[in-house]
Amino acid sequence: MERNVRLSPQDKEQMLSYFEAEVMQVLNWLAAFSPDEEGGITRLLYTDGWLETQQALAVKMASYGLSTSFDNVGNLFGKLQGEDMDAPSIITGSHIDTVVQGGMYDGAYGIAAGLLALDYLHKHYGKPKRTLELVSLCEEEGSRFPMAYWGSGSIVGKRNFEQIVHLQDSYEVFFADAMQRCGFGEGTARDSRRHDIGAFIEVHIEQGAVLEKEGIAIGVVDTIAGQRRLKFEVVGESNHAGTTPMHMRRDALEGVSMMIQTLRQETIRIGSPLVATVGRLQVQPNVPNVVPGKVIFTVDARHADEAALDCFCRWVLGAFASIAADRQLELHGTEWFREEPVPMNERLKQQLDAVCGELSISSKRMISGAGHDAQMFEHICPTAMLFVPSRRGISHSPEEYTEPSELAVGVLVLTELLYRLGYEGEEL
């Protein structure tokens, strides 16, 4: 059943108040699983709390009229079958896992939004032309085992069982054993790899403060930024803080403080969307009356453009080497993490821009500085991502918060895009 006209302002307001109430109900219901005694939610991959949540979600999806299934890594799908049996599915969703003491929006909001959107469309317009699916991905954060994007990566073929053979959590539990304990693993259900996805749309909180500060309702993600993580070890000489004149010192911390200053100046000079952060730093021997002999620290650099990021990282290595040489400090630098920028699908971005424009919802194109499941899906299908504001940019914390009315806007935009893709049969 197709609509004859675009949504009226009255429709829009009705939908917003409906979604505002419903989305909080779903989010509060989800947040009640896996509470952390210290506050917030800790729902790590393949834990009891994780399994309970995923199983409860399957029941809930079914009660919303979706036909549910798990794949063999524990991704949960809820399907709204379309008329065209051969057309690839339009999938929306996000991840169910959290960081340790995480909040109730990161990941969960994308699942709640998808559930409400599919339910609304089903109730109002019946069977879609193209199959619509909601996915509750098993894992994204990399918080239990040292691997992220296990759920989406398994679907797109970037993750497989060979990669997890040696992985253990911090209690030395093997990945495969934890998975098996929850009933998943090779041969337990259908293979996670899919070749029948027509598009993936993810709704997420921004996890930054840009939308809030600029008073904008929706961020249409232009590109998911590329990342480099570098680790540096700077070696000078530990000396007595009282007996070593300033000119005889090889103070590793002084050298590193100059590196941090230089890094910041160059990052600001190059400008947005480049960001660079020294987040972890350890001093040795770290005693008040000893000149630091060694400092180990990390640099996290992100940019939407791969070449610009490479160029910046080369500059970092050269600039740090020069600062170290000036001070007779040894410098060892290694890159231990790299992710290339992933531009979102241009046509879908334009469709999102159009939806926001037609519904008079403020929006802007923006870079996602954080990584998301969407960057995995973009390898196999047109993918889009949209953000709603995060209060004070806080995430990965029990203080994570977005106003219910802001959450509702995201659900509305998702619903409208899914309508156009699933019911109007807009081109992908």
Nearer of residues 215 and 279 to a second copy, judged by Cβ: 279
Question: 396 — alpha (psi -120 to 50), left (phi > 0) or beta?
Answer: left
Site for a second copy in 236-255 (CB under 8 A): 237, 239-248, 251, 253-254
Q: Which residues contact 313 (CB under 8 A, 6 or more apart)?
A: 228, 230, 301, 335
71 is in an annotated binding site: no
338 binds a second copy (CB under 8 A): no
Residue 326, Cβ density class (10 Å: 0-12 exposed, 13-18 middle, ≥19 buried): exposed
101 binds a second copy (CB under 8 A): no
Stretch that binds a second copy, among 71-79, 126-134, 266-274, 312-320 (CB under 8 A): 266-274
95 is in an annotated binding site: yes
332 is in an annotated binding site: no
Residue of the chain from 207, 345, 363, 375 that contacts a second copy (CB under 8 A): 207
Output b/e per residue, 205-235; b: 16+ Cβ within 10 A. Answer: bbbbebbbeeebbbbbbbbbbbbbbbebbbb
215 binds a second copy (CB under 8 A): no
106 binds a second copy (CB under 8 A): no
Please state, in angstroms and rounded to a whole number, the distance separating the CA atoms of residues 206 and 220: 10
Identify which of 375, 391, 392 has the alpha carbon closest to the alpha carbon of residue 383.
375
Nearer of residues 9 and 245 to a second copy, judged by Cβ: 245
327 is in an annotated binding site: no
106 is in an annotated binding site: yes
Helix (H, G, I), strand (E, B) or coil at 384: strand
Please state, in angstroms and rounded to a whole number, the distance separating the CA atoms of residues 9 and 14: 9
Neighbours of 38 (CB within 10 A): 9
Please state, in angstroms and rounded to a whole number, the distance separating the CA atoms of residues 88 and 117: 19
396 is in an annotated binding site: yes
List the beta bridge partners of residue 344: none
**How many residues would you count in the chain?**
428
Nearer of residues 14 and 328 to a second copy, judged by Cβ: 328
Helix (H, G, I), strand (E, B) or coil at 173: coil
Site for a second copy in 353-412 (CB under 8 A): 368-371, 392-396
Question: At closest approach, how far in Å is the CB of 195 from a second copy?
Answer: 31
Question: At closest approach, how far in Å is the CB of 276 from a second copy?
Answer: 8
Nearer of residues 192 and 207 to a second copy, judged by Cβ: 207
Question: At closest approach, how far in Å is the CB of 341 from a second copy?
Answer: 12
Identify which of 273, 299, 305, 277 has the alpha carbon closest to the alpha carbon of residue 369.
273
Question: At closest approach, how far in Å is the CB of 365 from a second copy?
Answer: 15
Helix (H, G, I), strand (E, B) or coil at 279: coil
Chain position carrying tokens 């290694």: 334
79 binds a second copy (CB under 8 A): no
Written as six digits, the tokens of 290 are: 């000893």
222 binds a second copy (CB under 8 A): no
Q: How many residues bind a second copy (CB under 8 A)?
A: 61
289 is in an annotated binding site: yes
Residue of the chain from 147, 260, 321, 380 that contacts a second copy (CB under 8 A): 260
Strands (E), 371-423: 383-388
417 binds a second copy (CB under 8 A): no
Please state, in angstroms and rounded to a whole number, the distance separating the CA atoms of residues 211 and 220: 11
Nearer of residues 68 and 257 to a second copy, judged by Cβ: 257
Nearer of residues 11 and 233 to a second copy, judged by Cβ: 233
Binding mask 268-307 for a second copy (x = CB under 8 A): x---xxxx-xxxxxxx--xxxxxxx-----x-x-x-----
Q: Applying CB under 8 A, which residues contact a second copy? A: 206-210, 213, 225, 227, 229, 237, 239-248, 251, 253-254, 256-258, 260-261, 264, 267-268, 272-275, 277-283, 286-292, 298, 300, 302, 368-371, 392-396
Known binding-site residues for Zn(2+) equal: 95, 106, 141, 204, 396
Known binding-site residues for allantoate equal: 229, 289, 302
